DNA sequence: TATGGTATGTACTGTACAGTACAGTATTAA
DNA sequence: TTAATACTGTACTGTACAGTACATACCATA
């Protein structure tokens, strides 16, 4: 291994081990010593690679946002019928956003966003916002084709995702339920699509 | 002041001062000494009245849930038409749940619910759940009267609130926007009511 | 005005933690 | 083999904090 690849690997190892800890326990409940113990090696690494606990935390959140929310930017629905498109994007969105690790990341970002406001923005733009924009673009196109009544497409998109997400996400965040199955998610989406299509029919 | 009223007043004073601090900064970022400094008096009070920092925290969250979410259990919509009822309950719900202090409380509860699972339950049952149940009961009654198509009323209720709430609440939680005006809220509700009524028309 | 519960101030204990220092060891590249 | 770079282990500093102890001051009530 080259000398640069060596340090890159170490950096990665820290990033991954610390990500698991932060996502599981939260920022304040994880000490730098605990991270060192998990990843092995020495405390000095963390400070040479990330400067501070805060620097490490920010790097991790950025990394996890990309990693966890990336599937949201790969949905291609342009050529589908409204029902198919809403079903497809809805299922993908929900199964990403309700995944236990995403919920834990969201909880973490929400907790720390008053202290580190950039993180909230980062999460929002890497995840929800891309989905909203994508669906809004699709809806706008369908409106132009006369397949849906005309209305603010961005708002319609947020209504659709809200209808899907809000209740289940809230219950997961408040720890009043356990994670959901794919079948349950699919049923949620079916019902919401039904209401949305009727609500926005031409 | 009687001797018991004296201590009750002290207890109240602690509760209020500490509530503001916890809601503003979060559980870990507020030291017991900081609370004492805010409320005046001595540290011993806190430990005689609440036993521990954790005990104080739980008392505060319970108190704030009642205080902030109480308006949700006072909506009376039984005799209104669907459009009026949805508008009324929607506006009330949103103006409570999107209020800055409610958002801060929700953030706090979400942050700490892995550590104190009862708090999540408490919040959920004092707030969202009563609204869901209330609207579900109304919808069920309207379905029986043939004014709405028949469908799972609880699910329909959560869809309605989700449509209203999800996007705006998320943006507040992630600190990517500033609080909303009553007019903005009213407009959100109008649009959601429109979609909901079409979606659940007989 | 004497008494008992209540409040205050201050000082203390033990612990946990972020961040630093540094001497020594491993690994790579010439 | 040598020099440069990166990694390790351990020990340390300073600080912040939860919780305790206690002596003193307050105040309602009888």
A6 touches strand D (CB under 7 A): yes
A1 touches strand C (CB under 7 A): yes
Interface probe, candidates B152, B154, B162, chain A, greatest A C-beta count within 10 A? B162
Confidence band for B1, pLDDT divided at 50, 70 and 90: low
Q: Is B61 within the bounds of a domain?
A: no
The reply to whether B103 and B12 lie within a common domain is: no
Local structure of B27: helix, strand or coil? coil
How confident is the model at residue A103, as a pLDDT? 98
Q: Per-residue pLDDT for B7 more than 80?
A: no
The reply to whether B34 and B79 lie within a common domain is: no
Confidence band for A7, pLDDT divided at 50, 70 and 90: confident
Q: What is the CA radius of gyration of chain B?
A: 20
The reply to whether B39 and B95 lie within a common domain is: no
Nucleotide nearest to B54 (CA to C1'): D18
Q: Do B173 and A128 touch (CB under 8 A)?
A: no
Nearest to A152 by CA among A190, A194, A200: A200
Q: How far apart are CA A33 and CA A15, in angstroms?
A: 14
Q: Per-residue pLDDT for B4 more than 90?
A: no
Nearest to A17 by CA among A78, A59, A51, A52: A59
Q: Is B59 within the bounds of a domain?
A: no
How confident is the model at residue A5, as a pLDDT? 79
Confidence band for A140, pLDDT divided at 50, 70 and 90: very high
Q: Which of B109, B158, B175 sits opposite A167 (nearest CB)?
A: B158
Q: Is A57 within the bounds of a domain?
A: no
Cβ neighbours of A35 (radius 10 Å): 21
Domain hosting A179: range is 66-199
The total number of structural domains in chain A stands at 2
The reply to whether A189 and A96 lie within a common domain is: yes
CATH code, domain with A32: 1.10.10.60
Tell me the chain A residues in contact with residue B156 when contact means C-beta distances shorter than 8 Å: 195
The reply to whether A110 and A15 lie within a common domain is: no
A178 touches strand D (CB under 7 A): no
Interface probe, candidates B174, B187, B194, chain A, greatest A C-beta count within 10 A? B174
| pLDDT tens per residue, range B126-182 | 999 999 999 999 999 999 999 999 999 999 999 999 999 999 999 999 999 999 999
The reply to whether B74 and B45 lie within a common domain is: no
CA end-to-end span of chain A: 62
How confident is the model at residue B94, as a pLDDT? 97
The reply to whether B38 and B70 lie within a common domain is: no
Q: Do B159 and A199 touch (CB under 8 A)?
A: no
Q: Is B56 within the bounds of a domain?
A: no
Q: What is the CA radius of gyration of chain A?
A: 20
How confident is the model at residue B5, as a pLDDT? 73
Q: How far apart are CA A23 and CA A15, in angstroms?
A: 12
B198's torsion region: left (phi>0), alpha (psi -120 to 50) or beta? alpha
The reply to whether A163 and A109 lie within a common domain is: yes
């Amino acid at each position: 291994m080259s000398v640069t690849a060596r340090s890159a690997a170490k950096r990665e190892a820290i990033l991954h081990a610390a990500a698991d800890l932060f996502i599981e326990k939260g920022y304040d409940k994880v000490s730098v010593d605990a991270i060192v113990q998990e990843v092995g090696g020495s405390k000095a690494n963390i400070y040479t690679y990330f400067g501070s606990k805060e620097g490490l935390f920010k790097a991790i959140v950025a990394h996890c946002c990309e990693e966890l929310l990336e599937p949201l930017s790969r949905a291609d629905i342009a050529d589908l019928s409204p029902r198919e498109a809403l079903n497809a994007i809805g299922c993908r969105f929900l199964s990403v956003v309700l995944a236990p690790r995403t919920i834990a990341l969201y909880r973490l970002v929400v907790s720390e966003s008053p202290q580190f406001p950039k993180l909230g923005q980062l999460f929002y733009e890497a995840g929800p916002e891309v989905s909203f924009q994508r669906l809004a673009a699709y809806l706008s196109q369908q409106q132009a084709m006369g397949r849906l009544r005309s209305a603010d497409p961005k708002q319609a998109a947020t209504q659709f995702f809200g209808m899907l997400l809000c209740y289940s996400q809230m219950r997961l965040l408040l720890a009043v339920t356990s994670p959901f199955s794919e079948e349950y998610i699919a049923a949620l989406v079916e019902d919401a699509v039904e209401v949305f299509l009727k609500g926005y029919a031409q």
